[in-house]
Structure 1
Amino acid sequence: MNLDLSSALLPVPTGAYQISSLPTERSLAFSLVVPTYNESRNIGQIVEILTQLLDQALPNDYELIVVDDDSPDRTWEVAQRLLPTYPQLRVMRRQSDRGLSTAVIRGWQGAHGEILGVIDGDLQHPPEVLLKLLHALRTGADLAVASRHVEGGGTSDWGFIRRFLSRGAQLVGLIILPGVVGRVSDPMSGYFMVRRSAIAQCLLNPLGYKILLEVIGRGQIQRIAEVGYVFQERQAGESKVTWKQYVEYLVHLVKLRSRGRISRLNETFQIGRFLRFGLVGLSGFVVDMAAFYFLRTSFTLGIARSTILSAELAVVNNFCWNDLWTFGDVAREQPKKRQRLKRFLKFNAVCLMGIILQTLLVSAMYDLFQISEFVAKPIAIAIVTFWNFWINLKLSWRVTDVQ
């Protein structure tokens, strides 16, 4: 069978990045977009795996849409040659635009599915997780996210630097845009599904690689579900993650935050939890001062060592009470020793950042504004208490909307 490759291409939508409502003709249950760039060595395998999975789950009721950014290795052409074998496959070749987020949206604009999804074309997202995400959407979720940071999730072989950058980007996001970034445990995920009705007619303004932030920030997302997955190492091709993606991520956060563009914010400040957190902090202050006095007088340790040890004892005290009381509902859902240890290490890191922040605030108020250190100190403590609570709420004890 001869295939006319030029006529087989799916037309590239133009104009605003806006998803239409579900078309009445030729509607499908599910459309999955696979954005690609130089993935000719992977595309055949991922199409085969996805087809096998979806043929069983949604026979004749789905489509795969490969959106290629005119790859030099001609990924789009390799994908087109698969069309006779895989009737559910469609291929779009973008020759003027670039970028993962816009590729996903253009693919969704040409899709016919009630549920819209995205998965990487490099086999780093395990395809079998699709079935769990589909189940979440079918049981009422508006958005289902594959997460590396919930039970069953992780990374296969990431080094310290890559983990640090990923977590650091998430922390920055929590500070700039807590009402969006804080709604999911893995806001950097590029593997998710969304109900079309939740983003239809919303004017999207994507930037860079993190399309999930755009969906949460501008869509009408009520219920969110998360499914754990282990991020795999690339089997073929080269990674496209560079410093530029981190810069685009920061710019995207600022764009979402500015000028009231977000359609729905969920930044409810949990007063009851904050009061418990404050009481625990007060008990930590008592432990800190008592331990400091005991170490100085009974063990005659130096000031520096006494300060460090007493502060750490206070951190341990605060963590235990917060884990048991302040965030007890969350902790009981994550009872394993390893999970508790991870929460403790995060709590320590947040407290250390709080100490640094407090020092900078006191110094700034004293040196720049000539505010007495005895006035500056309690102001800084109050600010840092809010900081510690909010970051721990979103990072150490994940209090999110997810099911």
Structure 2
Amino acid sequence: MEFDLSTGLLSVPTSKLTIDEYPPEVSDIHSNRVYFSLVIPTFKERDNIENIVKILSELLDNFIPDNYELIVVDDDSPDRTWEVAQSLLPDYPQLRVMRRQQERGLSSAVIRGWQVARGDVLGVIDGDLQHPPEVLTQLLEKVQQGADLAVASRHVDGGGVSSWSVVRRFLSRGAQVLGLIILPGVLGRVSDPMSGYFMVKRSAIANVTLNPVGYKILLEVIGRGMVREIGEVGYVFRERTEGESKVTWKQYVDYIRHLLRLRLTTGRVAKFRQKVNFPLGRFLRFGLVGLSGVFVDMAVFYLLSDPATLALPLTPSKFIAGEVAVFNNFLWNDAWTFADVSINQRGWRKRLKRFLKFNVICLAGLVLNIIVLNLVVNFLIPNPYIANLIAIAVTTIWNFWVNLKLSWRVTDVK
């Protein structure tokens, strides 16, 4: 890892977010390997950084002297937090500083810090002193006792929050419950999956490409890493004394996105996708186009079948409505879902050919749709509109998969 002696700053890695099995070699005075590397991600923490570096250094000097490093990773704070940290280098030989100017985000900052770390154990702590530093020694003891991952938790004995509002407590617990529903195999292993205060053995996450969304990296470590044993230590989350809170609604949205991504890229779902080579992104676009077709279908179906309008029989109403929706869907799929294929097969003849195949496949799906519609109306749910929605859902996968294989194929491309 390159190190700029003139500024004292670490170079920012530009590779994918993967932790090497062995610490990187560096060509500076800090080249000795250490036991523990603690990353402190910062953004606008000018008023806190000196204090936290002082407290952490004193604590770790007593517990593992000369066998640790502190890595401040600052996202180019407008208050120049990185510059304050840089000024501390002469007084704290275990301190290293990275200034990121091209990337943003707490999770990726942590990973970039771990990529340059020289420790066998990698940790993270907030730079605002809301995580009590004294808990570090207890976490290190958990790792020394055999844990692959040691997590500071607000939800075990000795844990809690100091003065959160009812709304924030509700959101925190709600996020945890939602996570248990979406990803029980990951969130069920720890009491505080939203914790940003933990440490993990390098070997548990080595050579794994991490892909975090938002600010909670613990989910990624548990979901993708080879974490066998987990230890937890209670801590009380403190309120800020300096700086400003980074918690926003966007972080809760990112948390949900992260859960869904992990759900789709790990475990049985991921193995199934790999086995069948299912193009999820294209299917989602196809689904959105299909959703527009649902509105077209339902509107035409209502106009044709409702007693207050034309009052046509159920089957012909459904057939006509479905055909109108098919035409709508073809136009959008050809221009968006399968645009990478259709752009190489230009001309009205080829487009007509694609439409005819699309129409035949969807008509076959429409027959299936009508069968399902009648079965549901006659044997399960008498409401024709609910039954129609169920029938549409059943045939969506049929339409996508067969069209993928037949209608939009990379053939006859010059």
**Scaled by the length of structure 2, what TM-score is found?**
0.62
Distance 1:236 1:259 in 2: 39
User: Aligned pair in 2 of structure 1 residues 149, 139: CA closer, same or farther (>3 Å)?
Assistant: same
Q: Does 1:242 align with 2:216?
A: no
Distance 2:257 2:16 in 1: 20
Distance 1:156 1:75 in 2: 27
Contact map agreement 1:220 1:264 (CA 8 A) in 2: no
Aligned partner letter, 1:142: D
Aligned partner letter, 1:85: D
Deviations 1:263-284 (A, max 9, x none): 999xxxxxxxxxxxxxxxxxxx
Question: Structure 2 matches for 1:145-156, cutoff 5 A?
Answer: 145-156=151-162
What's the Cα RMSD here?
2.4
Distance 1:52 1:217 in 2: 34
Aligned residue number for residue 67 of structure 1: 73
Deviations 1:163-207 (A, max 9, x none): 000000001100100000111000000000000000000111011
Deviations 1:90-115 (A, max 9, x none): 00000010000000000000000000
- Between structure 1 and structure 2, the one with the greater Rg is 2
Secondary structure at 2:138's aligned position in 1? helix
RCO higher in structure (CA 8 A, sep ≥6) = 1
Contact map agreement 1:218 1:262 (CA 8 A) in 2: no
Ranges of 4+ aligned residues in structure 1 off by more than 2 Å: 4-7, 22-26, 259-265, 368-371
Aligned partner letter, 2:264: S
Deviations 1:259-312 (A, max 9, x none): 4468999xxxxxxxxxxxxxxxxxxxxxxxxxxxxxxxxxxxxxxxxxxxxxxx
Secondary structure at 1:71's aligned position in 2? coil
Aligned residue number for residue 18 of structure 1: 18
**Number of residue pairs the alignment of both structures matches:** 270
Aligned residue number for residue 381 of structure 2: 370
Aligned residue number for residue 233 of structure 1: 239
Contact map agreement 2:216 2:255 (CA 8 A) in 1: yes
User: Aligned pair in 2 of structure 1 residues 244, 82: CA closer, same or farther (>3 Å)?
Assistant: same
User: Aligned pair in 2 of structure 1 residues 147, 263: CA closer, same or farther (>3 Å)?
Assistant: farther
Distance 1:150 1:255 in 2: 28
CA drift of 1:15 comes to 1.5
Aligned partner letter, 1:104: V
Aligned residue number for residue 203 of structure 1: 209
- What are structure 2's unaligned runs of at least 5 residues? 26-31, 272-375, 383-414
Q: Does 1:39 align with 2:39?
A: no
CA drift of 1:5 comes to 8.0
Secondary structure at 2:150's aligned position in 1? strand
Aligned partner letter, 1:18: T
User: Aligned pair in 2 of structure 1 residues 112, 262: CA closer, same or farther (>3 Å)?
Assistant: farther
Contact map agreement 1:143 1:195 (CA 8 A) in 2: yes
Within the candidate set 176, 199, 223, 1:193 is matched to: 199
Between the aligned residues of both structures, percent identity stands at: 68
Aligned partner letter, 1:100: L
CA drift of 1:21 comes to 1.2
Within the candidate set 112, 121, 125, 2:127 is matched to: 121
- What are structure 1's unaligned runs of at least 5 residues? 266-364, 372-403
Within the candidate set 175, 179, 204, 1:173 is matched to: 179
**Scaled by the length of structure 1, what TM-score is found?**
0.64
CA drift of 1:89 comes to 0.1
Aligned partner letter, 2:10: L
Aligned partner letter, 2:13: P
User: Aligned pair in 2 of structure 1 residues 18, 262: CA closer, same or farther (>3 Å)?
Assistant: farther
